[in-house]
């Protein structure tokens, strides 16, 4: 459990730790602060000026908080105009909440999967928060206010859950129970289908072990051609078993992530801009900074 308390290079607030610490510590307040600091680049900032589009690649929570401080020196819970919030996505909202919880000594992690509640008939790629509370992991969607038919800070899990992990979606497809053509970014984007979900299984493992990469990063197993479907099956099986409390599966998954160079980002990843800009090779440090598997 300790590994989920330690900050990753991505979740660390760095020199802005005092601003994060000044927030109320409950998940609802931290989620509201994340929505106040960060605006979704597609849903809330569709007309973002070209010179600001690089904000979506900020990557590190410290960098996001630095951008915010340059515009708004006031506390993170003091209202910002929507157009002046940092452009980001669900990954960034979740990373801020995870960073704040870890700062308070609480186990927390980001989870990669698909939301069945954002668009009718579509499983939208999504990132949520998991935090350990009262003896179990609770899932929370920091992008949601209290407006759904479920508790956004204690999402149901299991069959027919509103949020489905990438591993669950993949295994459902392999069993013939899922149509993955309806799983992805948007129907119009073309970013959907089995290979898209396959990549998200690798993302799910990386995020679990502290490599909270951008959703448009590519490396190793994500970019393999042809893809290793047996590897994806194995990872998905271990993820689902570990989520169910199987400590042996957790240990096996941790070892596999540590030892298989295809699974974790190295010193560089390829970033594929959601704005359609040419791919860029970006240095992120050895294994994404610090590998946390123990």
Q: In this predicted model, what pLDDT tens digit does every residue of 200-229 receive, in sequence order?
A: 999 999 999 999 999 999 999 999 999 999
Instruction: Tell me the two tokens of residue 4.
Output: 């989920």
73-82, 110-119, 145-154, 260-269 — which is least confidently predicted? Answer: 145-154
Residue 135 makes CB contacts below 8 A (sequence gap 6+) with none
Q: Report if residue 195 sits inside a domain.
A: yes
What is the pLDDT at residue 293? 46
pTM for this entry: 0.95
Region label for 109, one of left (φ > 0), alpha (ψ between -120 and 50) or beta (otherwise): beta
Beta pairing class for 280-283 and 108-119: unpaired
Note whether residue 294 is domain-resident: no
223 found inside a domain: yes
Residues 109 and 248: their CA atoms lie apart, in Å, by 20
Distance of CA 29 to the CA centre of its chain: 19
User: Span 275-292, mean pLDDT?
Assistant: 74
List C-alpha distances in Å: 76 to 21, 25, 67, 157, 245: 10, 13, 12, 31, 36
The widest CA-to-CA distance across the chain, in whole angstroms, is: 52
Range of the domain at 32: 2-288
- Residue 287 pLDDT exceeds 50: no
The SS3 assignment for 195 reads: helix
Of 87, 93, 86, 73, nearest to 30 (Cα)?
93
List alpha helices for 79-190, DSSP H. Answer: 90-103, 166-174
59 vs 251: CA distance, rounded Å: 28
How many residues make up the chain in this entry? 294
Can you tell me which residue has the tokens 């309806």? 182
- Residue 293: inside a domain, yes or no? no
Note whether residue 225 is domain-resident: yes
Report CA-CA distances (Å) from 106 to 5, 137, 191: 6, 11, 34
Tokens linked to 172: 């459902």
Of 121, 96, 127, 111, whose CA–CA distance to 29 is shortest?
96
Residue 138 neighbours by CB distance under 10 Å: 17
Q: With bands split at pLDDT 50, 70 and 90, how would you rate the model's confidence at 288?
A: very low
* Mean pLDDT rounded to a whole number for the chain: 94
Residue 118, both tokens: 């954002």
Q: Please state the domain count of the chain.
A: 1
């Amino acid at each position: 459990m300790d590994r989920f308390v330690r900050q990753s290079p991505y979740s660390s607030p760095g020199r802005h730790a005092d601003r994060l610490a000044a927030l109320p510590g409950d998940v609802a307040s931290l989620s509201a602060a994340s929505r106040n600091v960060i605006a979704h680049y597609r849903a809330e900032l569709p007309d973002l000026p070209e010179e600001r589009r690089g904000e979506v690649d900020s990557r590190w929570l410290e960098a996001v908080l630095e951008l915010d401080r340059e515009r708004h020196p006031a506390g993170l819970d003091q209202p910002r105009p929507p157009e002046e919030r940092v452009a980001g996505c669900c990954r960034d909202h979740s990373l801020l909440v995870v960073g704040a919880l870890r700062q308070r000594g609480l186990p927390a992690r980001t989870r990669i999967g698909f939301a069945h509640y954002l668009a009718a008939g579509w499983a939208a790629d999504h990132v949520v928060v998991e935090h350990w509370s009262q003896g179990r992991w609770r899932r929370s969607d920091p992008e949601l206010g209290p407006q759904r038919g479920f508790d956004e800070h204690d999402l149901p899990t299991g069959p027919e859950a509103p949020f489905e992990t990438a591993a669950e979606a993949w295994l459902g497809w392999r069993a013939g129970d899922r149509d993955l053509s309806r799983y992805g970014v948007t129907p119009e984007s073309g970013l959907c289908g089995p290979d898209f979900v396959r990549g998200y299984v690798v993302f799910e493992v990386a995020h679990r072990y502290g490599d909270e990469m951008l959703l448009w990063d590519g490396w190793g197993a994500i970019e393999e051609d042809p893809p290793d479907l047996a590897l994806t099956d194995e990872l998905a099986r271990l993820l689902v078993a570990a989520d169910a409390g199987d400590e042996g599966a957790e240990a096996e998954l941790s070892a596999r992530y540590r030892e298989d160079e295809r699974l974790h980002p190295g010193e560089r990843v390829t970033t594929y801009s959601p704005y359609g800009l040419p791919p860029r090779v970006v240095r992120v440090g050895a294994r994404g900074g610090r590998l946390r598997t123990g």
